[in-house]
Structure formats: C-alpha cells, structure tokens
Amino acid sequence: MRKPLIAGNWKMHFTVPEGLEYALQLRRDLEPYSAVVDAVILPPAVMLWEIANALRGCAIEVGAQNAGWEDQGPFTGEISPKMLAGWCHYLLIGHSERRQLFNETDEELNRKLHAGLRHRLKVILAVGETLEEYEAGRTAEVITRQLNAAVYGVELRQATELSVAYEPVWAIGTGKTATPEIAQEAHAFIKSLLDAPVLYGGSVKPENAEELLAQPDVDGALVGGASLEVESFAAICETAARLSRS
C-alpha cells in the first residue's frame, strides 16, 4: 500500500500572519501522523516562503497552487517552477477553478507539467469532469483527454514525481461528494492509463474521509474547505494514518 498523501489546498484564504499561525498549529497537530502519512499544504503564493521557513525540519511539506511554464521573463504576476525549486516541494496544476475561471487549456498544463518536473517538483495534476459531462456518461472520455494531453512527452523517469488528483467538478465546493464506488471506479480507470498515485478531491470532510480513503485505488485526498480548519484537516490525516496502519 502506498503511503497516503493528504494535500490541503488553501485556495485564496488567510492573510500572511493568519496563514503562518495556522501552519504552526498544523505542525503541532499533524506530528503524530507524520510517519505514516505524507501531509502537504498548498498556501497562497504570497505566504509560501514564510510558511516554508516556519515548517523547516518538519514532516509537513509545502506546495504551490499554480505556476507558469517559463523559468523567467516578461510574465507579470506569474511565478515560475524555477523560483519554487529547492525549497517548495509540491506543485498543484490543473485544478478545475484554474481550468474554468482562468481558462487554462490542456496544452498550457502540459507545458506547466514539463516545467515542474524539470525542476524536480512533485506535481499534482488535477483532472475531472463537469456535472454535464458526468450525466452524459463522458467521465472516461474527459479524463483520458485531460491525462493524455497533460503528460504528452513526459518520460517515465519523470513520472515518478507525478500524482493525479481526481476531482469531479460537480463535487467541488458544493457539499456533494462522489460515492466511494464512483471514486473507486474513476481512480481505477486513471491507474489503467497511468501508473501514479491518485488522490480524491471533491468536498472531502472528516465525515466521509474514511469511506473514500478505504477504497483500494484511492491513495490520498486533495482537501479544499476542510483544510482551512485545524481540527478537520487533522481528523482527515488521522483517518488516513489509521487506515494505513491497519
């Protein structure tokens, strides 16, 4: 069994002092699970450096929510994987909010994936279908297209630093959650296309974490709203640790 990966996506929440205080609380509360769970937090870019310093020597790793695909240049407002490399461990790309609200394309995500892997970041690639696509029975089609486009040209030796997050768009921020059976089916399908850890993302909460994480092909979770509260995020990590030990 793979060591479960629990990633907390803070999205656009907290000021820098608030985020720093919260990270220090997590450092204390997640310590008991560090031996059996890989815990990652994804703060807003403005506070990444402060939080990474505060967590130095701690088992909690830090990741960015997004990055550009060039190392440097005239790209106002962007941060590059090169800037993150060496101190920031993870990079999340392809979240549905980036795809939908900021019109990111599969081609752009392919370039971001190559850039992140080139700088030895552990990339979490999010894929998933909308409610309309799900109801039309197009889940496999959408996932196949998104995966094939994103990993085009990636060498197998690089793929060891890649994880996939399956996030049904209809279950993000809505309070809805895919049933464990739906999650398992989608995760198994992704693994038939790519040998990589697959996380479930989509309204993961302490109340549903166990039934989701207990599925054989669910290797962890990409947590949104529940990652903004110490008790909730710690409870999800505790569940992952307990299942990992059993």
pLDDT tens digits for 187-218? Answer: 999 999 999 999 999 889 999 999 999 999 99
- Report the alpha-carbon distance of residue 21 to residue 43 in Å, rounded: 12
Residue whose pair of structure tokens reads 């962890």 in the numeric block: 220
Q: Is 13 a catalytic residue?
A: no
Q: What are the pLDDT digits (tens) for 31-43?
A: 999 999 999 999 9
Find out whether 168 and 128 touch, Cβ atoms under 8 Å. yes
Mean pLDDT of 161-180: 86
Question: Which of the four CATH numbers 2.40.390.10, 1.10.3720.10, 3.20.20.70, 3.40.50.880 does domain 5-245 have?
Answer: 3.20.20.70
Q: Is 167 a catalytic residue?
A: yes
Q: What are the pLDDT digits (tens) for 126-150?
A: 999 998 899 899 999 999 999 999 9
Using 50, 70 and 90 to split pLDDT, how confident is the model at 170? confident
Mean pLDDT of 72-77: 97
For residue 156, pLDDT over 80 is answered with no
Mean pLDDT of the chain: 95
Percent of the chain with pLDDT over 90: 89
For residue 1, pLDDT over 70 is answered with no
For residue 151, pLDDT over 80 is answered with yes
| Alpha carbon separation from 60 to 32, 42, 212, 237 (Å, rounded) | 11, 11, 22, 11
CA–chain centroid gap for 85, Å, is: 17
For residue 121, pLDDT over 70 is answered with yes
Of 11-25, 36-50, 158-172, minimum mean pLDDT range? 158-172
Note the pLDDT of residue 159: 81
Note the pLDDT of residue 164: 98
Using 50, 70 and 90 to split pLDDT, how confident is the model at 171? confident
Annotated active-site residue in 97, 108, 129, 167: 167
Annotated active-site residue in 95, 114, 119, 187: 95
- Report the alpha-carbon distance of residue 82 to residue 68 in Å, rounded: 10
For residue 87, pLDDT over 90 is answered with yes
Instruction: Count Cβ neighbours within 10 Å for each residue of 36-72 and write b for 16 or more, e otherwise.
Output: ebbbbbbbbbebbbebbebbeebebbbbbbbbbbeee
Of 84-93, 169-178, 220-229, minimum mean pLDDT range? 169-178
